[in-house]
């Protein structure tokens, strides 16, 4: 039995539509406003939504945009309005609405639109859940302004360099410029020579590099090859780095390519800069992961959301997403509690009860080993931040860790 969610602030209309559609054999749920509609949608995806445009807390178009942005517009939505215009209908259709009905709604039009939408949905393959973008956080002023800046730049420039620091939002920002129907091409994942066939496959898509400093010399050549052909393939290139031009030149980059990449740049906020928005980010990430069927249905308690807000996120958006996914997979209850957050994110305290009956040199090495192991865990393996915390020059730091037998792996350059 197909399920239908009816969203309208007028109880009389909700009851009438509910009665009609129940008689037709549909399973009906009701929501009196946008907030109730969000909650109902987060609880379970209906087979169809009848969504009123004019509501007291938020208009239906905004709700439609929100569902589209956070990957929840994977069911047909029929918009309803008694004061609609052609422009409104066109906008709703552009965002992804399946149909548009004017009030008062004729019975036959209602039943035909509902049947048509549900039949069309049943004949389609399971929709792909698209990655989150900045559009999923319309209530955040800094993120909303960042989105506007990105869109403004993309209208005049084919390539953009994002200046980032630890805890960056680079991928979230880059995804916000990407057309959902086009291909996303991560140049850092291509180890061999880039050719025209690969660029052709990403026609009108987005090319992305998370950190310039991580590209090998052949990958730098791929980047130079791609940037010369952005116009030809109607593509946008978004690259990010926490390093300046001089530092990258010292690392072996060609000055001409770097100066070209740095022609248009934008400094991004870190998660620390938008700390008050972390609860909403985490909640949206959880909804997105549930929609993608990566995690079971869970909800974050208010205390858990606050615990996430007070955490430090040196790994940025990717680290927050990984934490939310781990919490949803690891908790045994339907609700994720603040204790779950603390258990996952707070490193176990390091014991400082070092034996004092050993030679000074051995005692010093034991303390240094504990010190560096603790801060290496705390900084998520990031060697740049470990060097800043310990006050050691990078070369000296690597030498010291090697002497103490501490492995750094390959994580140290990630931000």
pLDDT at 353: 61
Q: What token pair was written down for 182?
A: 């086009």
Distance CA 59, CA 167 (A): 34
- Output the pLDDT for position 168: 87
Reported CATH class of domain 360-413: mainly alpha
What is the predicted pLDDT for the residue at 70? 78
Q: Structure tokens of 151? A: 């869109």
What is the C-alpha to C-alpha distance for residues 169 and 64, in angstroms, rounded to an integer? 24
* Domain 3-123 listed as CATH 3.20.20.70: no
What's the pLDDT at 410?
44
For CA atoms 330, 332, 335, 339, give the dihedral sign: negative
CATH architecture of 135-267: 3-Layer(aba) Sandwich (3.40)
pLDDT, tens digit only, all 415 positions of the chain: 899 999 999 999 999 999 999 999 999 999 999 999 998 998 888 999 999 999 988 889 999 988 888 778 889 999 999 876 788 888 898 888 999 999 999 999 999 999 999 998 887 765 567 788 998 888 899 999 999 999 999 999 999 999 998 878 999 999 999 987 789 999 999 999 999 999 999 999 999 999 999 999 999 999 999 999 999 999 999 999 999 999 999 999 999 999 999 999 999 999 989 999 999 999 999 988 988 889 999 999 999 999 999 888 988 898 999 999 999 999 989 999 999 998 888 755 555 566 677 788 888 888 888 888 878 776 667 788 788 888 888 888 888 888 888 876 544 344 3
Cα angle: 146, vertex 152, 156; to 5 degrees? 140
Q: Where are the domains of the chain?
A: 3-123, 135-267, 277-345, 360-413
Q: d(Cα 327, Cα 314) in Å, to the nearest integer?
A: 18
As a three-state string, the secondary structure of the chain is: CCEEEEECCCHHHHHHHHHHHHHCCCEEEEECCHHHHHHHHHHCCCCEEEEECCCCCCCHHHHHHHHHHCCCCCCCEEEEECCCCHHHHHHHHHHCCCEEEECCCCHHHHHHHHHHHHHHHHHCCCCCCCCCCHHHCCCCHHHHHHHHHHHHHHCCCCEEEEECCCCECHHHHHHCCCCCCCCEEEHHHCCCCCCHHHHHHCCCCEEEECCHHHCCHHHHHHHHHHHCCCCCCCCEEEEEECCCHHHHHHCCCCHHHHHHHCCCEEECCECCCCHHHHHHHHHHHHHHHHHCCCCCCCEECHHHHHHHHHCCCCCHHHHHHHHHHHHHHHCCCCEECHHHHHHHHCCCCCCCCCCCCCCHHHHHHHHHHHHHHHHHHHCCCCHHHHHHHHCCCHHHHHHHHHHCCCCCCCHHHCC
3-state SS of 182-217 is CCEEEHHHCCCCCCHHHHHHCCCCEEEECCHHHCCH
Q: Is-same-fold flag (3-123; 135-267)?
A: yes
**pLDDT score at 88:** 85
Cβ-count burial 59-71 (b if 16+ within 10 Å, e if not): bbbebbbbbbbbb
The CATH code belonging to domain 277-345 is 1.10.8.60
Q: What pLDDT is attached to residue 126? A: 59
């Amino acid at each position: 039995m197909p399920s239908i969610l009816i969203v309208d602030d007028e109880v009389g209309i909700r009851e009438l539509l509910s009665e009609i559609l129940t008689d037709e054999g549909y399973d009906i749920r009701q929501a009196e406003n946008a907030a109730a509609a969000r909650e109902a949608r987060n609880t379970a995806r209906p087979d169809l939504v009848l969504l009123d445009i004019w509501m007291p807390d938020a208009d239906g178009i905004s709700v439609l945009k929100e569902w589209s942005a956070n990957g929840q517009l994977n069911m047909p939505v029929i918009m309803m309005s008694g004061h609609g215009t052609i422009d409104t209908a066109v906008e709703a259709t552009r965002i992804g609405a399946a149909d548009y009905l004017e009030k008062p709604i004729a019975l036959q039009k209602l039943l035909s639109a509902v049947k048509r939408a549900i039949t069309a949905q049943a004949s389609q393959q399971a929709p792909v859940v698209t990655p989150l973008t900045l559009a999923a956080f319309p209530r955040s002023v800094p993120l909303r302004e960042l989105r506007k800046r990105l869109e403004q730049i993309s209208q005049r420039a084919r390539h953009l360099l994002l200046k980032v620091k630890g805890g960056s939002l680079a991928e979230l920002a880059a995804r916000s410029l990407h057309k959902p129907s086009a291909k996303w091409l991560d140049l850092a994942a291509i180890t061999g020579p880039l050719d025209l066939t690969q660029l052709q496959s990403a026609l009108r898509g987005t090319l992305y590099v998370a950190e310039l400093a991580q590209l090998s010399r052949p990958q730098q050549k791929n980047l130079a090859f791609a940037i010369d052909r952005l116009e030809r393939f109607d593509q946008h290139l978004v690259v990010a780095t926490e390093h300046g031009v001089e530092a990258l030149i010292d690392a072996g980059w060609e000055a001409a390519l770097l100066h070209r990449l740095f022609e248009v740049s934008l400094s991004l906020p870190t998660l620390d800069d938008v700390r008050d928005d972390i609860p909403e980010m985490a909640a949206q990430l959880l909804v997105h992961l549930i929609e993608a069927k990566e995690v079971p249905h869970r909800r974050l308690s208010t205390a858990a959301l606050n615990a996430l807000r007070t955490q430090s996120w040196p790994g940025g958006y990717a680290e927050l997403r990984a934490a939310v996914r781990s919490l949803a997979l690891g908790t045994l209850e339907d609700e994720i509690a603040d204790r779950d957050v603390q258990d996952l994110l707070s490193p176990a305290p390091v014991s400082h009860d070092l034996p004092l009956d050993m030679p000074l040199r051995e005692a010093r090495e034991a303390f240094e080993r504990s010190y560096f192991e603790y801060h290496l865990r705390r900084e998520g393996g990031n060697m740049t931040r470990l060097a800043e915390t310990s006050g050691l020059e990078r070369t000296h730091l690597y030498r010291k860790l090697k002497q103490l037998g501490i492995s750094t792996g390959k994580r140290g350059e990630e931000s």
